[in-house]
Amino acid sequence: MLMPAALPLSALENAAEFLPRHIGIDAADEAHMLSVIGEASRRALIDSIVPRSIARSRAMDLPAPATEAAALAELKALAAKNQVLKSFIGQGYYGTHTPGVILRNILENPAWYTAYTPYQAEISQGRMEALVNFQTMVCDLTAMPIANASMLDEATAAAEAMTLAKRSVKSKSHRFVVAGDAHPQTIEVIQTRAAPLGIEVVLANSAEEWNALLAGDYFAVLAQYPATSGRIDDLRADVEQAHARQAAFIVAADLLALTLITPPGEWGADIVVGTTQRFGMPMGAGGPHAAYMACRDEYKRSLPGRLVGVSVDVHGKPAYRLALQTREQHIRREKATSNICTAQVLPAVIASMYAVYHGPQGLTRIAQRVAAYTAILAQGLKALGAPVREQATFDTLSLHTQDATQAIAARAVSLGANLRVYFGEYLCISLDETTTRADVELLWKVFAKDGQALPSFADFEKGVAPLIPAALCRTSGFLAHPVFNTHHSETGMLRYIRQLSDKDLALDRSMIPLGSCTMKLNATSEMIPITWPEFAQVHPFAPADQLEGYRLLDEQLRAWLCQATGYAGISLQPNAGSQGEYAGLLAIKAYHAAQGQGHRNICLIPSSAHGTNPASAQMAGLQVVVTKCDENGNVDLADLKAHCEKHSENLACVMITYPSTHGVFETQVKELCQLVHQHGGRVYVDGANMNALVGVAAPGEFGGDVSHLNLHKTFCIPHGGGGPGVGPVCVVEDLVPYLPGLPGQDSQPQAPASGKVGPVSAAPLGNAAVLPISWMYIRMMGAEGLQAATETAILSANYISARLKDHYPTLYASANGHVAHECILDLRGLKETSGVMAEDVAKRLIDYGFHAPTLSFPVPNTLMVEPTESETLFELDRFIDAMIAIREEIRQIEGGALPQDDNPLKNAPHTAESLLAGEWSRPYTRETAAYPVAALRQAKYWSPVGRVDNVYGDRNLFCSCVPVSELA
Ligand SMILES: *Cc1c(COP(=O)(O)O)cnc(C)c1O
């Protein structure tokens, strides 16, 4: 009889390994790919690519990899160290019910969260419709004519409003007046942002100061509506004063309150900003949430962030695309008005869907209940003798509790509730959608003296009028478009969400080979923890002892990222790569100032840099000087040297990307760093390409002083259709004191201590709630796994480059013909021979079921391909075969078999409707149009619109929901 063999436990335990789930290439695939490239082993390949001079001195010191189940259990235990109390803190963060149909079908659905920013309009119609709904929602609620498709958070939105006003108004003043009762974190981020631009921020800490300041000189003012204390002021006269001084009036407004109170657009506001968090996004210890910005029509051409507009496709049908400068903002570089790239698309989609689901009546009812409970709470508290201040309010009460403040707050905590301590002697209580009768009774209990009888809801059954004065009640309607009045049943909502996501291509359908964007696996196990209540339902300013889980998450993740980068200190606060760049440059500036070298203000940036680099540098008050690249795409060291010498006295830093945006490991990077250091400058290494470095080389070791990471690229946070992201800023030892400060720690906004850098985001941990994703990734991969991921990403890029070399030459390679983790395919010659542009290939790929590679960045008329380690060989080959088939189509044009202006590329993408049109007069068949390769007959993606006309849309700018009559 055959006995089962004993197997070593390690073999059995490996079966649950995460590594082969993340990396799509197995040993046999690897051997095949190496043979195509012509290298003997992965080791040999990597050694021939990564310069020896920068190789890591030692392996990363990380915990041994855990299985998915074990990592989830470990993280659950860590999460359990957060205490989830009922939050009444307010201050911009409120409880909200994420409708289950939105939670499951958007927030937890890869069709939405793995999508990329909608640069390829034809495959992004679903998410752009959701974003147009978002813009319409913001316009309607604020009563402003135009709104963008999300900002990073309310505080940075307010800071961007300040600079938008600065460049838009006639006033030449440099003074910015801010109401002292704006949210403290907003004031602090404004202070951080204002300083390098020479803007003087003046706080009005009382009504007298406010009135005196408004009578003076300034280019703009900002008021919070309702104020952070809950008070609602009538600001009409103030707006008129500001306008009389040619200054702008900025309002930070609460969208839920605006369903009941007069919207700022109706009393003359010029810019309105705020958060949409309470429209269905959990507090998540501070983010991610979509902030919004709306402005007057005259400002629209300098509106920061992305704007989705309606245009038409080649068939004349309405179609969405990114409008105006938002397509090209990176091209504007140091002239860019904002550095926002990754924004908050997924949270914006969720907020828009919350409005679609509830509709105008539903939102109003939610707000009315909040306002009624607030009024009831106030009556009950007064009956108990609590010191409630008389004020017009929507959802927040303020109590002058004086010496009893801390004791009452502690009593609330013991009963499971967090109140907000305000200026040491006040308590603020904010109610929200989740507040129940039991919560109101609990709040009464907090204030009741021993033996005092509690008020009873029975006395309030007939209702209590909200504490909103008649003069400030909203009378205008909003959200009249059918989309907000149709999908109110769950069935209807489910189908609307599905209908939109079916229009789009995300990672759940095919690879997205976008160079510089690192569209890798966002594993389900990494995503699961983000909606755990222990992470999702906590307030960013809850008492520190309730946030122990987040503290540990922050500490561990920073330690691991220090291992990965070789840096000494990290802050996870920046909520996008651009924000990390900005924080890093501020650190460099503060360092120089501390050395008595505050005059150093020159920032050298090679011409190949990503547009956010120069944009961030100008925001940091640095003067950008562009340096050359040589014909191989490398930084021209001679030119850089000349600039270093020329600017030696004033050199602040050099910003490079490594490996370069040209997809090459430059061999002289160490020399470059030394050169910059010799001239007293610091080296900023843009870490967006860390997927080519982790485990192989560390910027903090080879000469970098500062880097930002993109956790939404290298460390598996999904792109969400254009955000959220996390852009940690990493620094060497002597720059650690200049990492960003913590916002909102006190009710009194803190200007940064002298020599320190203030906060760059509204919340201490920025987009805290998505940090578990990167934690899970590192925890499950371990040091060797992460290194294998890097090496496989490089292997896959080289495989694509090698297989395509006879069809599309790779533009830049190292001396031995190899590339880093991405390759630029040179299509520039095709224009001459066939009239085909890179864009035509990008659009034709849609017919083959693929999202295009990065188009025309960093070199015009090229495609930059980054496969990542997560794609399987099957998918890589499918992509390569599609590219080769398209090249054959181009050869037919070159040979004259197809005309240059009427061929499958120029007419791509082909919609089903256009193929079914009665007459078919193209010089190629319908089959060629739709099914150029046989496999497409099994699984076909149909573009919902034909090629979108960008110019038409910009000439006829329209950024709200399309009237139904036009869709017919
Ligand atoms: C993505 C990217 C950035 C900007 O990062 P965001 O998170 O989008 O702000 C900066 N530099 C490079 C090279 C990038 O690829």
Tens-place pLDDT, residues 124-136: 999 999 999 999 9
Ligand 1: nearest atom to the Cα of 713:
1
SS3 863: strand
What is the rounded distance in angstroms from the CA atom of residue 782 to the CA atom of residue 765? 24
pLDDT band, residue 337 (cuts 50/70/90): confident
- Cα 725 vs. chain centroid, distance in angstroms? 4
Report the candidate in 814, 824, 866 with the shortest Cα–Cα distance to residue 47: 814
What is the rounded distance in angstroms from the CA atom of residue 804 to the CA atom of residue 810? 8
Q: Which residue has the higher pLDDT, 662 or 716?
A: 716
Amino acid code (one letter) for 197 = L
Kindly state whether residue 770 falls inside one of the protein's structural domains.
yes
Look at ligand 1, atom 7, and give the residue with the nearest C-alpha: 577
Q: Mean per-residue pLDDT for 21-43?
A: 98
Kindly state whether residue 708 falls inside one of the protein's structural domains.
yes
What is the rounded distance in angstroms from the CA atom of residue 803 to the CA atom of residue 796? 11
* pLDDT of 950: 85
Q: Mean per-residue pLDDT for 749-775?
A: 94
pLDDT band, residue 554 (cuts 50/70/90): very high
Residue 749 contacts residue 202 (beta carbons within 8 Å): no
In this model, does residue 328 exceed pLDDT 70?
no
Kindly state whether residue 816 falls inside one of the protein's structural domains.
yes
Substitution candidate for ligand 1 out of 612, 685, 715, 854 with most atoms within 8 A of CB: 612
Instruction: Find the CATH number of the domain harbouring 593.
Output: 3.40.640.10
Distance from the CA of 578 to the center of ligand 1, in angstroms? 6
Residue 298 tokens read as: 């005259």
The pLDDT tens digits for 601-623 are 999 999 988 889 999 999 999 99
Q: Mean per-residue pLDDT for 531-559?
A: 98
Residue 654 contacts residue 604 (beta carbons within 8 Å): yes
* Mean pLDDT for all residues in the chain: 96
* pLDDT of 96: 98
- In a 13 Å sphere around the CA of 771, the CA atoms on its Cβ side amount to 34
Ligand 1: nearest atom to the Cα of 340:
9
Distance from the CA of 339 to the center of ligand 1, in angstroms? 10
Percent of the chain with pLDDT over 90: 91
User: Which of 244-253, 724-733, 912-921 has the least mean pLDDT?
Assistant: 912-921
In this model, does residue 825 exceed pLDDT 80?
yes
- Cα 901 vs. chain centroid, distance in angstroms? 39
The 3-state secondary structure of 239-306, one letter per residue: HHHHHHCCCEEEEEECCCHHHCECCHHHHCCCEEEEECCCCCCCCHHHCCCCEEEEECHHHHHHCCCC
In this model, does residue 965 exceed pLDDT 90?
no
* pLDDT of 1: 66
Q: What is the DSSP letter of 295?
A: E
What is the rounded distance in angstroms from the CA atom of residue 756 to the CA atom of residue 877? 52
What is the rounded distance in angstroms from the CA atom of residue 654 to the CA atom of residue 640? 9
Q: What angle do CA 590, 659, 683 make, to 5 degrees?
A: 20
The pLDDT tens digits for 498-525 are 999 999 999 999 999 999 999 999 999 9
In this model, does residue 830 exceed pLDDT 90?
yes
In this model, does residue 351 exceed pLDDT 90?
yes
Ligand 1: nearest atom to the Cα of 710:
7
Distance from the CA of 612 to the center of ligand 1, in angstroms? 7
Distance from the CA of 854 to the center of ligand 1, in angstroms? 13
The 3-state secondary structure of 589-639, one letter per residue: HHHHHHCCCCCCCEEEEECCCCCHHHHHHHHCCCEEEEECECCCCCECHHH
Report the candidate in 576, 516, 507 with the shortest Cα–Cα distance to residue 123: 507
Q: What is the CA radius of gyration of the chain?
A: 28
Amino acid code (one letter) for 437 = R
Distance from the CA of 846 to the center of ligand 1, in angstroms? 25
Distance from the CA of 714 to the center of ligand 1, in angstroms? 11
Kindly state whether residue 875 falls inside one of the protein's structural domains.
yes
The pLDDT tens digits for 93-124 are 999 999 999 999 999 999 999 999 999 999 99
In this model, does residue 928 exceed pLDDT 70?
yes
What is the rounded distance in angstroms from the CA atom of residue 285 to the CA atom of residue 769? 6
Q: Mean per-residue pLDDT for 745-767?
A: 91
Kindly state whether residue 129 falls inside one of the protein's structural domains.
no
pLDDT band, residue 534 (cuts 50/70/90): very high
* pLDDT of 196: 96
SS3 249: strand
Kindly state whether residue 387 falls inside one of the protein's structural domains.
no
pLDDT band, residue 5 (cuts 50/70/90): confident
In this model, does residue 327 exceed pLDDT 60?
no
Look at ligand 1, atom 6, and give the residue with the nearest C-alpha: 577
* pLDDT of 326: 60
* pLDDT of 346: 98
- How does strand 854-855 pair with strand 862-865? antiparallel
290-323 burial code (b ≥16 CB/10 A, e <16): bbbbbbbeebbeebbbbbbbbbbbbeebbbbbbb
Pocket of ligand 1 (CB under 6 A): 341-342, 516, 576-578, 610, 612, 657, 661, 686, 688, 710, 725, 727
Distance from the CA of 710 to the center of ligand 1, in angstroms? 7
* pLDDT of 968: 62
Substitution candidate for ligand 1 out of 116, 342, 685, 824 with most atoms within 8 A of CB: 342
* pLDDT of 424: 94
Kindly state whether residue 406 falls inside one of the protein's structural domains.
no
Determine the structural domain holding residue 707 and report its residue range. Answer: 57-83+510-535+544-745+764-968
pLDDT band, residue 967 (cuts 50/70/90): low
Ligand 1: nearest atom to the Cα of 339:
9
Look at ligand 1, atom 4, and give the residue with the nearest C-alpha: 577
pLDDT band, residue 325 (cuts 50/70/90): low
Q: What is the DSSP letter of 107?
A: I
Q: Using CB atoms within 10 A of its CB, is residue 151 exposed (0-12), middle (13-18) or buried (19+)?
A: buried
Look at ligand 1, atom 15, and give the residue with the nearest C-alpha: 516
The count of structural domains within the chain is 1
What is the rounded distance in angstroms from the CA atom of residue 192 to the CA atom of residue 760? 7
SS3 187: helix
Ligand 1: nearest atom to the Cα of 516:
15
Kindly state whether residue 478 falls inside one of the protein's structural domains.
no
